[in-house]
Chains A and B, each alone.
Chain A
Amino acid sequence: SQKIEQNSEALNIQEGKTATLTCNYTNYSPAYLQWYRQDPGRGPVFLLLIRENEKEKRKERLKVTFDTTLKQSLFHITASQPADSATYLCALARGTYKYIFGTGTRLKVLA
């Protein structure tokens, strides 16, 4: 069955450092992958989308890579800030509107 794995443990980093989150998937060939941010008690908020033919995507302090050979996406936040503390979800889809979500990684940026 399709499976998406994200760092299950919380990730704590110091303010100003780069946070790197991982999303690995198996038994799936997504056409595109998305990253979302979710704050406690709230719905997810879209951050970035990357397609299978793209290696890297950037938006301000955010960078996403997509390696279809390794079946992995990395999500980077540079110059991290305490306000970046949240749970980050990756979601995969192919050919339909349906998304499969990972369990999310909780990031905490320490001041």
Chain B
Amino acid sequence: GAVVSQHPSRVICKSGTSVKIECRSLDFQATTMFWYRQFPKKSLMLMATSNEGSKATYEQGVEKDKFLINHASLTLSTLTVTSAHPEDSSFYICSARVQGVDTEAFFGQGTRLTVV
């Protein structure tokens, strides 16, 4: 299957700093990527849909100025958590789909963010 690589897998940062997470589709082009957040023993919560060459679409309740998304190429989307606070600590996961509506999504391995 298609491969989505997410980096870094773990990051610890200080409060007030910004953290960038990368999501790459390694062997296919992804015009759309998705960013999720997952709390322990909870479901994946869709944060935003990242569209190549245009602005991301954010879900209700997700601060776009807090979670900056850039999808500059067909194989790379980035999520930047700005001015991080301890409550931003979570597991962030990206996914991408091969062209076509009813196809499976391929997920990155996730990034564990800890803000201290």
Contacts and interface: CB of A to CB of B under 8 A. Distances in A.
B109 A42 contact: yes
Contacts of A103: 41-43
Q: Is the interface of B mostly helix, strand, loop or mixed?
A: strand
B1 A46 contact: yes
A89 B104 contact: no
Contact of A46 (B49, B104, B109): B104
Nearest to A31: B102
Contacts, number: 60
A95 B110 contact: no
Interface in B1-15: 1, 4, 6
Nearest to A106: B41
B44 A49 contact: no
Given A32-B102, A51-B102, A97-B97, A45 B49 contact: no
A42 B110 contact: yes
B75 to A, nearest CB: 17
A34 B43 contact: no
A35 to B, nearest CB: 10
Interface residues of A, number: 26
Given A34-B104, A49-B102, A97-B97, A43 B6 contact: yes
B43 A98 contact: no
B34 A98 contact: yes
B93 A43 contact: yes
A41 B46 contact: no
Contacts of A91: 105
19 contacts: A31-B102, A32-B102, A36-B107, A43-B95, A43-B108, A43-B109, A43-B110, A44-B107, A45-B107, A46-B107, A49-B103, A49-B104, A89-B43, A97-B34, A97-B49, A97-B97, A98-B34, A98-B46, A99-B34
Interface of B: 1, 4, 6, 32, 34, 36, 41-44, 46, 49, 91, 93, 95, 97, 101-110, 112
Given A4-B43, A104-B43, 20 more contacts: A36-B107, A41-B110, A43-B95, A43-B107, A44-B44, A46-B105, A46-B106, A49-B102, A49-B103, A51-B102, A95-B101, A96-B101, A97-B32, A97-B97, A98-B34, A98-B49, A99-B34, A99-B46, A99-B105, A103-B43
